[in-house]
Amino acid sequence: MIGRVLALVHGVRPEWREAVLGTLLPAFRNRAFSVEIRDVEDGPLADPAGFDVVCVTGSPDSAYDESLPWLRPELTYLEDAIARGVPILGVCFGSQILARALGGSVAPSARPEHGFTTVDTTRPDLVEAGPWMEYHHDTVSVSGVAEVVARNDAGVQAYVSGPHLGVQFHPEITPDVFRAWREGFTSPRSGIDDGKVDTKGIVADIENSSADAEARCDRLVERFLAHAGVRVPAAG
């Protein structure tokens, strides 16, 4: 028996779409889930009820930028998934647009984050303290239907609402993911070598931390599935 995960990416060139999922991809596949990757810029998405999980990944764009032609359709899609009880895992931008779909808001952050950091967590059984990779310039305010379960001085780092989980950080990080951010996104905002961030230092940290980061991502996916009540298919 095979479970189904829909992974949403945002303006990613086809040859980079698997890479941008990083360690999320094996974390789901090793648990006998098939992963269908769809770019929201490619048009209408399949009925969310046909999937066990919707995983919404990152974007250099902002979840409050209504000039993006795909933003409103994606919001509507996630609202439909929520109404149907399909568990959603939102990562970075994914957590931001999920927060909006749940009635919260997103705004520019006074403290953008770049690099590994730890978080204060009230649910270490779900979201451990890290260190987690951060790469974002916006911040989330959750609605009354969500509970913040991790934060730091920069703001909300993780929240839950029913079966759904949003995380501001990037559990999926690998050296290939970081390359995909620089070369795979089509957005004008995808250029990250602007002199304001120590990208060489971040690359070195990612390479040195890759094994531990992959293990943390795997645990996060396992705990998310348990939290959401998603039955892990039997292998084979």
Active site residue 137: no
What gap in Å lies between CA 101 and CA 80, rounded to an integer?
9
Helix (H, G, I), strand (E, B) or coil at 63: coil
Phi, psi of 161, deg, nearest 5: -150, 105
Among the listed residues 74, 113, 134, 172, the single catalytic one is: 172
Active site residue 170: yes
Active site residue 172: yes
C-beta separation of 104 from 146 below 8 A: yes
Alpha helices in the chain (DSSP H): 17-21, 24-29, 71-83, 93-101, 175-183, 199-228
Among the listed residues 10, 92, 136, 214, the single catalytic one is: 92
Among the listed residues 113, 170, 214, 227, the single catalytic one is: 170
> What type of residue sits at position 67?
S
Closest among 98, 101, 76 to 89, alpha carbons compared: 98
CB neighbour list of residue 100: distance below 8 Å, 6 or more residues apart: 63, 64, 75, 106
Q: DSSP class of residue 12?
A: B
119, two tokens: 């978080």
Instruction: Report, as residue numbers or ranges, the catalytic residues.
Output: 92, 170, 172
